[in-house]
């Protein structure tokens, strides 16, 4: 990533903004959505679940993790 130098805080603040219609917007949006999905994956079971054994609980956890990451098996 290139290094940018700024003389004032205002110049640095303006450099963060992207103009409407800029072709980089979809790529940046995809990056941020991917980051958000990794930090807060969907598909996590809600509420409290009871299991008869630790093996059953681990199998359930593996299943929802596979579903959250979109893998099969």
pLDDT, tens digit (0-9, with 9 covering 90-100), for 7-36: 999 999 988 888 889 998 999 999 999 998
Examine the pLDDT at 66 and tell me if it is beyond 90: no
pLDDT at 45 over 70: yes
- Count helices and strands (H / E) in the chain: 3, 0
Contact of 60 with 51, CB cutoff 8 Å: yes
In order of 1, 17, 60, the CA distances from 8 in angstroms are: 21, 16, 53
CB 67 within 8 A of CB 43: yes
Q: Is the pLDDT at 50 greater than 90, yes or no?
A: yes
Q: Please report the pLDDT score of residue 58 as a whole number.
A: 95
Domain boundaries, the chain: 9-69
Q: Are 41 and 69 in contact (CB under 8 A)?
A: yes
């Amino acid at each position: 990533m290139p290094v940018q130098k700024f003389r004032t805080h205002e110049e640095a603040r303006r450099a963060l903004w992207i103009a409407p219609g800029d072709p980089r917007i979809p790529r940046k949006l995809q990056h941020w959505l991917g980051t958000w999905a990794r930090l807060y994956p969907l598909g996590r079971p809600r509420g409290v679940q009871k299991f008869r054994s630790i093996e059953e609980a681990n199998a359930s956890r593996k299943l929802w993790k596979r579903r959250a990451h979109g893998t099969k098996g």
